[in-house]
Structure 1
Amino acid sequence: MQEQPEPAFAPGLTARVELTVTDADTAWAVGSGDVPVLGTPRVVALAEAATVAATAPAMPPGSTTVGTRVELEHLAPTVVGRTVQAQALLAAVDGRRLSFEITVSDGDETVARGRVDRILVNRQRFVDRAGRVS
């Protein structure tokens, strides 16, 4: 019987990343609207960055994670010049699938909340496979 390797990650891992909103981060600039506030695509990218930061210290050699699902409620606008923080909490691990709870805040106000799922993959195999698809 083959011994199963120890899981690379356990629930409870966390990370926080910040973004000071610039004109380049606005809905108008990223094409998701016509208002000068933080665009939802940038909120999603910030949430994913927090998940990557949470896994980075324990990432097995030759591995990476890739996003597979995002569920996000963008609840409040953030104007240029404000700093938002995305907090990721690894809530569940199911084999190679990692599920994170996400909160994005601007001070005491919740700007967005949701869930990001990622899957652990072999980096080189993933890149090789992606190259064959294109």
Structure 2
Amino acid sequence: MTIDAGLRAVVLIMVERGDTAAKIGSGDVPVLGTPRLLAIAEAATVRAVHDHLAPGQTSVGTKVTLEHRAASPVGTHVEVTAELVEVDGRRLVFEVTARDSKRTVATATIERVVVDRERFLSGLSG
């Protein structure tokens, strides 16, 4: 399979209490926590390329730059869109945007690398 720039995926969430900075320990306010936002953004990148990887391949995150611009309280719907903007061999670069109904909540650049799942996991032992 080939992976080309332009692949996209969207993840839509409603902020729940378990997503908040106060609940996950990244702060003490009841708004979408940055670590949770990052996890959702990474999930969108995985979803964007999942069906385009060869059997036995997966991708792993290697670099993130995230700007969390606006707070999202419990009950807010946030749409996270990941678009693959660069393919350099096994290296994939995504631009990610998170928006609520009024504004951009966050922007990010996320890099992933395509790896052979078995070889990657075998390198962990020992």
Equivalent residue runs for 1:109-124 within 5 Å: 109-124=103-118
2:90 corresponds, among 81, 93, 96, to 96
CA RMSD of aligned residues (A): 1.0
Equivalent-residue separation in structure 2 for 1:131 and 1:37 (angstroms):
39
Question: Structure 1, unaligned stretches of length 5 or more?
Answer: 1-6
Letter in 2 for 1:83: H
Secondary structure of 1:131 counterpart: coil
What corresponds to 2:16 in structure 1? 22
Equivalent-residue separation in structure 2 for 1:103 and 1:131 (angstroms):
36
What corresponds to 2:101 in structure 1? 107
Letter in 1 for 2:87: V
What corresponds to 2:53 in structure 1? 59
What corresponds to 2:2 in structure 1? 8
TM-score scaled by length of structure 1: 0.90
Equivalent-residue separation in structure 2 for 1:108 and 1:68 (angstroms):
31
Equivalent-residue separation in structure 2 for 1:130 and 1:84 (angstroms):
35
Equivalent-residue separation in structure 1 for 2:53 and 2:46 (angstroms):
10
What corresponds to 2:120 in structure 1? 126
After superposition, the C-alpha distances for 1:66-110 in whole angstroms (9 at most, x for unaligned) are: 000010000000011111111001000000000000000112410
Equivalent-residue separation in structure 2 for 1:107 and 1:64 (angstroms):
33
Letter in 1 for 2:47: A
Following TM superposition, the consecutive aligned residue runs of length 4 or more in structure 1 with deviations greater than 3 angstroms are none
What corresponds to 2:25 in structure 1? 31
TM-score scaled by length of structure 2: 0.96
Letter in 1 for 2:41: A
Question: Structure 2, unaligned stretches of length 5 or more?
Answer: none
After superposition, the C-alpha distances for 1:27-60 in whole angstroms (9 at most, x for unaligned) are: 0111110000000001100110110010012111
- How far has the Cα of 1:130 moved from its partner? 1.9
What corresponds to 2:40 in structure 1? 46
Work out which of the two has the higher radius of gyration on C-alpha atoms and give 1 or 2: 1
Q: Percent identity at matched positions? A: 49
